[in-house]
Amino acid sequence: MKRTREQLLERLMGACGSGRRINCYNGFLLLVAGLGGLLYGVDIGIIAGALPYLEATSNFSAGQLSVVVAAVLLGSVISTLFAGVLADTLGRKPMMILSGVIFAVSIPVISLASGYGPLVFGRLLQGVSAGFIGVIVPLYLAECLAPSQRGKGTAVFQLLLTLGILAAAVIGIFFSLRIEEIVKLGSVDSLFAFKDAAWRNIFWFSLPPGLLFVFGSCLVSESPRWLFRVGRKTACREALLRSRTEEQTLGELRELEATSADSKRRGGATVTQGRTPLLSRKYVPPFLLACVILTCTQATGAASIIGYSTTILLQSGLCDLEAHWGYVALTAVNFFVTICSVILVDRKGRKFLLTLGTLGITAMLLIAGFLFHRTERLCLDRSAQIQRQVTPDQKLTLVFNAATAAELLAPVMGNEPRADAPNGYTLIVLYSCGGFHAATKVLRSGDALAKPLEISRDSCLPDNAVLAFFANPLANLDAARHKPLVIDKALVSPVPDRRTGLFIALSLLLFMGFFAIGPGVCVWLALSELMPTRIRSSGMSIALLLNQSVSTAIAAIFLPVVGRYGYSRVFWGFACCAMIYFLTVTLFLPETKGKTLEEIEGLFTKKNRT
């Protein structure tokens, strides 16, 4: 079977002509790796288009919806823990195939889910696939590509990653265009059925890239450096010959032999001194710098802004169709600016682009926060009125429309309409029961076909003791089942006007552009270039673990925190992290443009000696 796959690829390469066989194979290698980036991007972006429809057709609380979004990141954290070890044990190629298979399996699990548990499980599987891809594909590229093509390989991975996010947005806008026609019919049942089918079909559309990645991964060679490390030197030579000339292959084999001998000599000294390589003094500075850069990349909130962009734009004052078009524009900016970054990264350098990007990110987050603050400062808490509507069986059903908003605000406003709310009002309810807290999704008074708000004691409490421990380790789940439902806050705010919504959308587009020109591409290069050769697999796993952990935590708490503090404070918090990122890059990151991995490692070695 293996020989059959290799013969099939050789026939495909043979169509290019013998003189172009190597270039054809390298192009195919980049394509397969790019498909891995495409899947990674789909994992990140697919939920944004599906989330509004999932919100409308489920009874999930804001906390549960945040878990659905964050589950893919949690799965990524879990798989990242083991990705380096599994890649070293089983090989890079089998792990690429496995990651594609897991992604393909996750799609029917999600699309056919009939409840919260199966949906979260399917998203976890997607995350496991993403975690494997995030570690193994860049590692595979670094080990398979020649030094002159290493930057191109990483850039192609990131480029198709952004293409995956863009593709997810285009799929979402397709359903958003159709929903306008359903709304005109005025049928609540038809609208509900369409939205329920919409979020499921959005996930089905992402299945073909996963199958293509599995097929392509079966055709490429194993990493020659992994083959050499496990003693399969003949297979290593054959793998190198598929992407290099005979002369280049012999030269790299000599380098591998020399590096292996030097590594064994240094490894013996390290063991004698009682240190693991990762904790060796010369490896700590580049390892910590890479960890800080990857952590700060997620702490800017980029993943959450992409994942929740449609929801954010809806709350900024735009209508449903405009919000979905805004998401398409956001992902399109990400994709096309990434192309510019790919061109500039080897000309202007990593440090320049990261400095420019992080400074722009900070400015745009501050502006977006200010624009949201203009209306959020007018927010009123009507929890006492909502609390009176809780029934003796600890349930609340509320239809939030213009009349309800006027009734809630009457004690403060009287019968005079507020001139600062031309688009109506939003309502979010924060509630608790026995030490466990939850938040509803944000409702808009102008949504005539929206489902009534339904909350209960059960919707606040975790499903089991394990989830209860993570939600509040000090609370007693059994005792909480008999506690009353408490409305902590019921926040009524004016919906920003359309002009404000457009300015917020523009600030987010510029945010995405600055992110793409700097951290979007350069973070993957920092991960592969800053990590010394001897600790690359383990170091990449740990750095990506921190990266995904921060992203997971932000996504999991995003909606509840927004509900309690507003978008303005959340964006300002992201801006503080972006400023730390800017200072780290400016003060500590060396320029790695045009340097070999050994030269980059030498930069930190010299600093340690001085």
How do residues 301-313 score in pLDDT, each as one tens digit?
887 887 777 778 8
Strand, helix or coil at 398? strand
Decide if 252 contacts 240 (C-beta within 8 A): yes
- The residue written with tokens 């908003």 in the block is 405
pLDDT attached to residue 364? 94
Spacing of C-alpha 341 from chain mean position: 19
pLDDT attached to residue 366? 94
H or E stretch covering 433: strand 425-433
pLDDT attached to residue 511? 94
The crossing angle, in degrees rounded to 10, of helices 320-344 and 150-185 is 170
The pTM (predicted TM-score) of the whole model is: 0.67
Spacing of C-alpha 333 from chain mean position: 16
pLDDT attached to residue 180? 67
Decide if 157 contacts 138 (C-beta within 8 A): yes
Q: Length of the chain, please?
A: 610
Decide if 563 contacts 430 (C-beta within 8 A): yes
pLDDT attached to residue 275? 45
Strand, helix or coil at 392? coil
pLDDT attached to residue 514? 93
Mean pLDDT in the chain? Answer: 76
pLDDT attached to residue 531? 65
Structure tokens belonging to residue 184: 């005109």
Look up residue 242 and give its amino acid.
R
pLDDT attached to residue 279? 58
| Runs of H (alpha helix) within 91-149 | 92-111, 116-144
Query: Residue 80's closest CA among 541, 428, 451?
Result: 541
Q: For residue 415, count other CB atoms closer than 10 A to its CB.
A: 7
How do residues 382-420 score in pLDDT, each as one tens digit?
888 888 888 888 888 888 888 888 888 877 665 554 555
Quote the percentage of the chain above a pLDDT of 70. Answer: 77
**List of residues 6+ apart from 341 with CB closer than 8 A:** 155, 353, 516, 517, 518, 520, 521, 522
Ordered domains of the chain (ranges, CATH) = 2-220+280-373+502-609 (1.20.1250.20), 380-419+424-494 (no CATH)
Q: For residue 599, count other CB atoms closer than 10 A to its CB.
A: 10
Q: How far apart are CA 77 and CA 547, in angstroms?
A: 8
pLDDT attached to residue 105? 92
pLDDT attached to residue 102? 92
pLDDT attached to residue 272? 40
Q: Strand pairing of 443-444 and 425-433?
A: antiparallel
pLDDT attached to residue 262? 61
Q: For residue 220, count other CB atoms closer than 10 A to its CB.
A: 25
pLDDT attached to residue 597? 55
How do residues 209-256 score in pLDDT, each as one tens digit?
888 888 888 888 888 878 887 788 888 888 777 777 777 777 777 777
Decide if 448 contacts 461 (C-beta within 8 A): no
Q: Which residues of the chain have pLDDT under 70?
A: 1-20, 44, 48, 61-63, 66, 146-154, 180, 183-187, 259-283, 320, 346, 412-422, 447-450, 463-464, 466-467, 469-471, 524-541, 548, 552, 556, 592-610
Decide if 228 contacts 256 (C-beta within 8 A): yes
pLDDT attached to residue 269? 46
pLDDT attached to residue 62? 62
How do residues 269-288 score in pLDDT, each as one tens digit?
444 444 445 556 666 777 77
